[in-house]
Amino acid sequence: VVFLVSSQPLLGLFGERVQAGLAGARAIETLVVPDGESAKTPETAIAVWREMLRRGGKRDSRVVALGGGSVGDLAGFVASTFLRGVAVLQVPTTLLAQVDASVGGKTAIDLPEAKNSVGAFHHPDWVLADSDCLASLPQAELRCGLVEAVKMASLLDAELFSRIERDAELLLAGDAEALRPVVVAAIAAKASVVEDDPEEGGRRRLLNFGHTLGHGLETADGYGGLRHGDAVAHGIRFALRLGQSRGWGHQLAPRLLDVLARLAIPALERVAPGPVIDAMRRDKKGSEAGLAWVLAEELGRGRIVTDIGWPEVEVALAAFLDEAWPGPA
Ligand SMILES: NC(=O)c1ccc[n+]([C@@H]2O[C@H](COP(=O)([O-])OP(=O)(O)OC[C@H]3O[C@@H](n4cnc5c(N)ncnc54)[C@H](O)[C@@H]3O)[C@@H](O)[C@H]2O)c1
């Protein structure tokens, strides 16, 4: 049995195409999950596991995840655990999922206490990223995908960073010719890091640039209106600030902030530091010794820093959240 996991709007957009692609499969069972981040709950995972059992799922069944990073993370997690693990095929339909989430095997669901706090590494057998899918993507989703591409480029691929810098407006407008090489380069950068470090023991941790505060903001927001990519953009700004107070990133920071501003990242809504700090204290990147921050030394050079005390983070965060960004033009 092939279990096609997706949300109603995405099945409306792409269901027929995927069904046609799966025509050779013995049986296709479609499992509809909530759209967006609200798919990533324990309740949805339980509902999908139970439905898979009822509809004849076995060890050699397969899961096809059709959607953005949310469906991909949920379906990948369900596949990783169902009958101790069945194969998953990722069909990413957002830019963010194409450049980042579908590659590398991280899967997870959220708990109210902390984002992605239950999950597994479960690599997809295949990733099928069709750039035609991006044509229907709203600009806000393009922006979020570009943030993940910027994150990757700034620490791993200086050439890709310059390309995004050059083409930011075209990319944000969804220009297919401009987007294609960015998707290809970002996938290549991510795949090469993941191949060397599949379970994030070392260099792969650089891909968490911007994610410590980003996830804290999303958790404090209750996975409401704040998009993942936008949260990461603000997380990158905060990581730059922590780096600058150590004397790093002075050349990179203005370039990175300029690209983020050109991508029209919306200002952060007013948020109290307390719940954000609480969420960061539960961040899965933390060890019992403390939290690992990814900071940027310079373009193409990231650094994992584990000796930043909570008092420093609290003071820096309070100032950061008080400041308007982007400032007056
Ligand atoms: N596993 C990883 O390595 C990894 C990496 C980065 C992010 N993530 C996760 O990915 C999630 C965010 O994913 P996302 O940004 O793709 O958002 P998303 O999956 O929540 O999708 C956002 C919205 O876009 C819509 N959409 C998807 N494809 C579309 C298309 N082609 N046309 C029109 N609308 C479309 C969806 O229906 C949804 O409403 C977060 O939960 C984040 O934690 C995971």
Three-state SS at 159:
helix
Q: So what's the pLDDT on residue 3?
A: 98
- Give yes or no: 148 in active site: yes
- Give yes or no: 200 in active site: yes
- How confident is the model over 82-91, as a mean pLDDT? 98
The rounded Å distance from CA 317 to ligand 1 centre is 27
Instruction: State the CB neighbour count (10 A cutoff) for residue 106.
Output: 24
Task: Kindly write down the DSSP assignment for every residue of 259-324, as one continuous string.
Answer: HHHHTTPPPPPP--HHHHHHHHHT-TT-BTTBPPEEEEEETTEEEEE----HHHHHHHHHHHHHS-
Q: Phi first, then psi: what are they for 216, rounded to 5°?
A: -60, -40
Give me the residues paired with residue 254 across strands.
Answer: none
Residue of 226, 193, 233 lying closest to 211 (CA atoms) = 233
Kindly report the protein residue whose alpha carbon is nearest to atom 5 of ligand 1: 101
Closest-lying ligand 1 atom to the alpha carbon of residue 36: 20
- Give yes or no: 190 in active site: yes
Query: Is a pLDDT exceeding 80 seen at residue 327?
Result: no
Dist. CA 312–CA 117, nearest whole Å: 25
Cβ-in-10-Å burial (0-12, 13-18, 19+) of 54 comes to exposed
Residue of 262, 227, 259 lying closest to 153 (CA atoms) = 259
Of 22-26, 97-101, 203-207, 294-298, where does mean pLDDT reach its minimum? 22-26
Exactly one of 204, 227, 234, 237 is catalytic; name it. 204
The rounded Å distance from CA 86 to ligand 1 centre is 22
The rounded Å distance from CA 40 to ligand 1 centre is 11
| 329: confidence class by pLDDT, cuts 50, 70, 90 | low
| 186: confidence class by pLDDT, cuts 50, 70, 90 | very high
pLDDT > 70: percent of the chain = 99
Q: Please give the torsion angle defined by the CA atoms of residues 176, 182, 183 and 189, in that order, rounded to the nearest 10 degrees.
A: 170
For the stretch 28-53, pLDDT in tens is 999 999 999 999 999 999 999 999 99
Closest-lying ligand 1 atom to the alpha carbon of residue 227: 15
Is the CB–ligand 1 distance for residue 69 below 6 Å?
A: yes
Query: Is a pLDDT exceeding 80 seen at residue 306?
Result: yes
Residues in the chain: 329
Kindly report the protein residue whose alpha carbon is nearest to atom 6 of ligand 1: 101
- Give yes or no: 58 in active site: no
Query: Is a pLDDT exceeding 60 seen at residue 150?
Result: yes
Closest-lying ligand 1 atom to the alpha carbon of residue 116: 43
Query: Is a pLDDT exceeding 90 seen at residue 325?
Result: no
Residue type, 269: E
Q: What residues have CB less than 8 Å from 272, skipping those under 6 apart? A: 220, 321
Residue type, 149: A
Query: Is a pLDDT exceeding 80 seen at residue 285?
Result: no
Q: So what's the pLDDT on residue 290?
A: 78
- How confident is the model over 67-87, as a mean pLDDT? 98
Helix (H) or strand (E) holding 199, with range, is: none
Exactly one of 37, 208, 227, 241 is catalytic; name it. 208
Exactly one of 106, 227, 234, 237 is catalytic; name it. 106
Q: So what's the pLDDT on residue 24?
A: 84
Q: So what's the pLDDT on residue 23?
A: 85
Is the CB–ligand 1 distance for residue 260 below 6 Å?
A: no
Kindly report the protein residue whose alpha carbon is nearest to atom 4 of ligand 1: 101
Exactly one of 37, 141, 148, 218 is catalytic; name it. 148
90 vs 291: which has the higher pLDDT: 90
Query: Is a pLDDT exceeding 80 seen at residue 139?
Result: yes
For the stretch 189-236, pLDDT in tens is 999 999 999 999 999 999 999 999 999 999 999 998 899 999 999 999
- Give yes or no: 115 in active site: no
Dist. CA 152–CA 101, nearest whole Å: 12
Closest-lying ligand 1 atom to the alpha carbon of residue 148: 6
Is the CB–ligand 1 distance for residue 7 below 6 Å?
A: yes
The rounded Å distance from CA 75 to ligand 1 centre is 12
Residue of 286, 284, 277 lying closest to 312 (CA atoms) = 277
Is the CB–ligand 1 distance for residue 283 below 6 Å?
A: no
